[in-house]
Amino acid sequence: MSGPEIKTFEAPEVLKYVEKIQAVATPVFPKLASEKTGWAMAWIHLVVWNSWKSSYFYADKFPKDDFQHYSEYALLTAKFLIDHHEVEESDLFPVLEKKMGAESMSQNEAQHHAFLHQLEGIVEYIRSAQISPAKFDAATYRAKVDAILVPIMQHLSDELDTLESSKLLEHFSESEIDQINKAINKASRQGDNHKMLPFLLRNLPPNSPFPPAPGFVKNLLGPWVFYWRYRALWKYTMYPMKPILSDSPQ
Ligand SMILES: [Fe+2]
Ligand SMILES: [Fe+2]
């Protein structure tokens, strides 16, 4: 994927954050719970990056009669980030702050709230376009993304520093961190598996170690069973199972 319309996603000030996230999202599954916290977070942040990029890319490329599916996908990308931050604020940060101090996660929350209003504005814009599809304008949608992409990517990078294993281990044992990881994993899995599993799998490179699920989930349930209910959406992901659209984002 390249071209002037995608330049916001290729700006050095954005890519420096993406590279930092990619460096934490290693291909090898970490052995220690304390290393898994930031590792899993980095992979989820790459889902945000890839899904936002593909939604932005297809904003002026979806087939004319497929706006409903494109807009559902675009909405999902924005809501995925909002939901991710809500789960962090309700189920992760308070637990960490109990031992690490109130200030330990305050920058993360401040960064969430700095772009929340504009993020909600993107959701509102897509929802209103779903009522009147003729009103959807790719340039308007992209301008709304342009306005917050740098602070979003900075946050997705900075947050990983606050979850470094050495910092966690100053306050928690490995078994305590294991419990925290399980709790945040469970809280993140609320919602429709038929929607969320294909969304995750199709927005990470094939054979990624994340999500750390058994082979039959990643190779059978995700791509085949859960794929079907919302299959019209998945052609807009970064890594579609089949290149259905002529303009592949890769
Ligand atoms: Fe996060
Ligand atoms: Fe966050």
Query: Is 81 part of any domain?
Result: yes
The pTM (predicted TM-score) of the whole model is 0.94
pLDDT tens digits, 205-229? 988 999 887 777 777 766 677 777 8
Cα 128 to ligand 2 centre (Å): 27
Query: Is 226 part of any domain?
Result: no
Query: Is 241 part of any domain?
Result: no
Query: Is 104 part of any domain?
Result: yes
CA terminus-to-terminus distance, the chain: 5
The whole-chain average pLDDT of the chain stands at: 92
- Of the candidates 202, 159, 145, 116, which has an alpha carbon nearest to the alpha carbon of residue 20? 159
Query: Is 103 part of any domain?
Result: yes
pLDDT tens digits, 178-208? 999 999 988 888 778 888 889 999 999 988 9
In this structure, of 21-30, 32-41, 184-193, the range with the lowest mean pLDDT score is 184-193
User: CB within 5 A of ion ligand 1: which residues?
Assistant: 41, 159
pLDDT at 249 over 80: no
pLDDT given for residue 247 in this prediction: 56
What is the domain extent for residue 105? 4-190
pLDDT tens digits, 83-97? 999 999 999 999 999
Cα 33 to ligand 2 centre (Å): 19
Query: Is 76 part of any domain?
Result: yes
Calpha distance 161→177 (Å, rounded) = 16
pLDDT given for residue 90 in this prediction: 95
Query: Is 82 part of any domain?
Result: yes
Length in residues, the chain: 250
Query: Is 246 part of any domain?
Result: no
pLDDT given for residue 169 in this prediction: 98
Q: What is the CATH number of the domain that holds 19?
A: 1.20.120
**pLDDT level of residue 144 (50, 70, 90 thresholds):** very high
Cα 121 to ligand 1 centre (Å): 20
Please state the domain count of the chain. Answer: 1
Cα 113 to ligand 2 centre (Å): 10
